[in-house]
Structure 1
């Protein structure tokens, strides 16, 4: 591997001059700069990012911690965050924790502040104590897609009004004449998707439409979780005309369950989710959903993290709220049959 010293010898300059050219700092004449760049190209030199980070106490990278890279939403968010990071001349490291606190803590201990200058965290399943410890060590942390804009998590965050998303889904089904609606929640009652279900329930209550607790299922945020929950709901409550799911994956599972029972979507059962992942657009029938501002939230998260890095961890607006969710009606919802 070519070293910086070898580049300096070929260009006839000092290693410090090579470093200044590559970092675009210091006063270097045009002719000298070109000699250095020509030497870099000829020798195929590439900076050793790890060594630079350790030597300078900073890194040209940001870390994004996700709970499961198998969930298709996270790659979509990572792609948007990576685009935003590149605009700022940074790389993005994606850290998959598998919902394991030991793995999460290891990433924070080994990467935060060394290989990455700041950390984006997709949700609060990572222990808040660990995140506060990371901040106390001098590495900025930003929570992404925080689901309760009305309550501060005590950390800088980008919030999305998921209560409103649940309300939009409920109102859409009500507008189509549905009053017998089952619910599938992709978390535990006090979990990360609780605000979505709360918005759904509030809208039904205001409309005077009952929603007994036995017509809701709390399950895994996965296609299989939605499939199993929908099978239970449709077996126990034959008069349901619609199912609301707090995320697109369980909603897709509900559609599969209905199809396996010989039900037609949306003639026999309407299904709606939340998020608008690529699979929702590609499913047949297309899944009606409430789209959340994934690209905007990712860009805002990177912007906030950069501001925290530049300011030494302080920011005037530690919570920034992303644009509101938007209803996207596709073929999986229709008017209730009389």
Structure 2
């Protein structure tokens, strides 16, 4: 009889899963896995709690799943899609400085990370060396963000957000930003307003379009009458998109650009078409990068607090690392500011 009882106990123990330990503690499966693997990003308190519950339930971790890594590297991976945007280089500079104050260094990973296969190339770096990651250019359809979270990698999104993934995020209210841009042009007397946005699969483009169209509709401008073009976040894409939009017989008198880099292309297109700015066409961008304030450009722009975003993202990541994955994700929404310069104004004769 005793033999049968022991057999039942062993059978039950062999069926204990990571999910059982996670459910008992109210934490993620990835945190349990990393705790049992001895990952340095997990706090000693969390690790002890996980080990105690695992022992109580009889969970046995497969030997091939154990990590041999014993100490933190103090190295953070920062993922960006490209570096042609001056806003991104400023963000990286502030991230470096902020993380350095916490005694962390960064390694730059230039890859859109919108394909799960890309993860294979970076997996040795991510699993073996990084204490955490910051995604600066996440796309809405990126499977990698969710995969990083499932793997228990301390992670923070900055600038953009991803739907249906519970992860720390630092951004501005892009719906409000789009509405503010549209309102600015409307109050100057513009009724034919076009949108030249960035990539369609980003939260920034989606939310700025949403905010602009909602505000204009409330003001009596039908969303269907608002020309909308999605393009890359480059001046070349802004130029070609604006050429197409300005070729319309009933052309727009105001353009909201997806960022300042796109806006520079729109300005060039207006110049090539001999359209006076702002007398015949008003242009507003986003980011307020340093060049926007140059007397040669004088671009009206929606300012994002790039340094505050970087410092907030760095602080959230360090907090997440120290907490060992415990706690609910935090969504920081930072303020924006309309900076009016020379590229927006009332129509000539208004």
Instruction: Specify if TM > 0.5.
Output: yes
CA contact (8 A) 2:114 2:143 kept: no
Report 1:267-282 matches (<5 A). Answer: 267-282=279-294
Q: Which residue of 1 aligns with 2:10?
A: none
> How big is each residue's C-alpha offset from its partner over 1:251-275, in whole Å with a ceiling of 9 and x where there is no partner?
1111100001112211121100111
CA contact (8 A) 1:60 1:116 kept: yes
Structure 2 residue matching 1:200: 3-state secondary structure: helix
Q: Distance in 2 between matches of 1:334 and 1:277?
A: 20
Which of 79, 101, 108 is the matching residue for 1:94?
108
Q: Which residue of 1 aligns with 2:267?
A: 255
Q: Distance in 2 between matches of 1:180 and 1:312?
A: 52
The answer for unaligned runs of 5 or more in structure 1 is 1-53
> How big is each residue's C-alpha offset from its partner over 1:148-168, in whole Å with a ceiling of 9 and x where there is no partner?
8xx663222223211111011
Determine whether 1:137 maps to 2:151: yes
TM-score by structure 2 length? 0.74
CA contact (8 A) 1:271 1:288 kept: yes
Determine whether 1:233 maps to 2:245: yes
Q: Which residue of 2 aligns with 1:335?
A: 346
Quote how far apart the aligned CAs of 1:129 are: 3.8
Q: Which residue of 1 aligns with 2:335?
A: 324
Determine whether 1:216 maps to 2:228: yes
> How big is each residue's C-alpha offset from its partner over 1:40-64, in whole Å with a ceiling of 9 and x where there is no partner?
xxxxxxxxxxxxxx86431111111
**CA-atom RMSD, angstroms?**
2.5
Quote how far apart the aligned CAs of 1:114 are: 2.8
User: After the TM superposition, which of the residue ranges 197-206 and 104-113 deviates more from structure 2?
Assistant: 104-113
Change (3 A) 1:215 1:127: closer
TM-score by structure 1 length? 0.76
Aligned residues: 283
Q: Distance in 1 between matches of 2:245 and 2:305?
A: 30
Q: Which one has more relative contact order, counting CA pairs under 8 Å at least 6 apart?
A: 2
Q: Distance in 1 between matches of 2:173 and 2:330?
A: 12
Determine whether 1:59 maps to 2:73: yes
The answer for unaligned runs of 5 or more in structure 2 is 1-67
User: After the TM superposition, which of the residue ranges 194-203 and 105-114 deviates more from structure 2?
Assistant: 105-114
> How big is each residue's C-alpha offset from its partner over 1:170-206, in whole Å with a ceiling of 9 and x where there is no partner?
1111121111111111122776511011111111111
Q: Distance in 2 between matches of 1:136 and 1:100?
A: 16
Q: Which residue of 2 aligns with 1:290?
A: 302
Q: Distance in 2 between matches of 1:221 and 1:173?
A: 22
Structure 2 residue matching 1:322: 3-state secondary structure: strand
CA contact (8 A) 2:303 2:337 kept: yes
CA contact (8 A) 2:69 2:128 kept: no
CA contact (8 A) 1:280 1:288 kept: yes
Structure 2 residue matching 1:212: 3-state secondary structure: helix
Which of 198, 201, 211 is the matching residue for 2:210?
198
Quote how far apart the aligned CAs of 1:119 are: 0.2
CA contact (8 A) 1:183 1:215 kept: yes
Quote how far apart the aligned CAs of 1:72 are: 2.1
Change (3 A) 1:243 1:177: same
Quote how far apart the aligned CAs of 1:113 are: 4.0
Q: Distance in 1 between matches of 2:187 and 2:225?
A: 22
Q: Distance in 1 between matches of 2:270 and 2:201?
A: 24
Change (3 A) 1:323 1:255: same
Structure 2 residue matching 1:267: 3-state secondary structure: coil
Report 1:304-323 matches (<5 A). Answer: 304-316=316-328, 318-323=329-334
Q: Distance in 1 between matches of 2:307 and 2:104?
A: 17
Quote how far apart the aligned CAs of 1:209 are: 2.5
Q: Which residue of 2 aligns with 1:303?
A: 315
Change (3 A) 1:284 1:103: farther
